[in-house]
Every structure is written in C-alpha cells, then in structure tokens.
Amino acid sequence: MTRFTRRQFIAAGAAGVAVPAPLWARTAREITWDDLIPPGVPYSEIIGEGEMDETNDTWNPIFDANATKLNPALDGAFIRMPGYILPLEMGAEGVSEFVLVPYIGACLHVPPPPPNQLVLVQTPKPWPSTNLWDAIWVTGTMRAILQTTEVAETGYTLSAESMELYVWD
C-alpha cells in the first residue's frame, strides 16, 4: 500500500493548481447559421416577404411562424460561430453591442434575415471599429430569446467571451 506524506499530498495539489488556464477552458461547440433553425424546419420556410417603406427608406419584413422558431438545444450552450457585425453601440474603443448577421450588408435597406438568423451580441471587450467589414468568430454563451432591437428582431443573444477575425481557408 502506497502512503503519501502530507508534503507529497500538498505538492500534488499545488501541481494541479499550476496547470495553465487554457487547459481548463471549456471547448465551444462550433455552429453554423443552419444550426439556429430548429430541426425539421427547412430553410426555405423561414424566409419572409415584406414591403419597402419608401418614406423611411427601410424594408418592413413580414415573417411567418417558422421565422421565429428557435433551436432550444442552443439555449445556454457555449458556442463559437462566424458572422458579420451590424453595430448597435459604439464607443471610442469600438463596438460593444451588435447584431451578428450571416452575410455582409444585412440591414434595413435590403430584406433582413428572419429573427432566427440574427444574434444580438454583447461583449465586455469592444471589437475595434476599424474592422467592421471583416467576418469574425464569436465565442460565448448563447440564449434562445426573441428580442426587438432598433434594426431588427433577433432570435438569439450571445454573451461574447472572445472574438477573432475569421480566416478563410
């Protein structure tokens, strides 16, 4: 029978604490925009019609129930997903709140994506405003919840822990 002295036991415990933090980090589930649509709902059934408001130069979408159906498996999930930034809150240090969109230019001047294809992102570390047109990866905890922002109705929120440029292979 192996016996450990008190000193050996404390040394072993200290060695466990000394493990670098990246080894403790959670691994994010990498998702795509298709994952935001609940299983069984075809992408072709989430696209809505709408009409152009010429006076305000905005598109008023009309979505059916499939456009607001969310994937409950993503509620509370730690995920990593790519997309583009549509800024909502900007300061001197960059963008701290934005809508993550699946393609560049998704805004009110063209038909916006349906709510289950838009993610409201909040981040404690702003994304530099010099990189607004770049595709990015966002990693964090996702919530499935419909919300209305000044630019569109979103189906998900994401509390970003990290963001990085998307590098095309």
d(CA 74, CA 116): 12
**Residue 138 belongs to a domain:** yes
Q: How many CB atoms lie within 10 A of CB 34?
A: 10
Domain that holds residue 115: 27-165
- Do 103 and 117 form a contact (C-beta atoms < 8 A)? no
**Residue 8 belongs to a domain:** no
**Residue 2 belongs to a domain:** no
**Residue 1 belongs to a domain:** no
Taking only the tens of pLDDT, the chain with its 169 residues reads 555 455 554 454 444 445 455 555 689 999 999 999 999 998 878 877 778 888 887 777 778 889 999 999 999 999 999 999 999 999 899 999 999 999 887 765 567 789 999 999 999 999 998 878 899 999 999 999 999 988 889 999 999 999 999 988 7
Distances in whole angstroms, Cα of residue 91 to Cα of each of 97, 99, 129, 151, 155: 10, 16, 9, 18, 25
Q: What are the tokens at 29?
A: 């589930």
d(CA 156, CA 40): 19
**Residue 135 belongs to a domain:** yes
Q: How many domains are contained in the chain?
A: 1
pLDDT of residue 150: 85
Q: What are the tokens at 99?
A: 């809508």
pLDDT of residue 32: 96
**Residue 152 belongs to a domain:** yes
**Residue 22 belongs to a domain:** no
pTM: 0.79
pLDDT of residue 155: 96
Instruction: Give the DSSP per-residue string, 22-47.
Output: GGTSPPPEE--GGGGSPTT--GGGT-
pLDDT of residue 9: 45
d(CA 37, CA 32): 10
What CATH number did the domain enclosing 115 receive?
Answer: 2.40.50.870
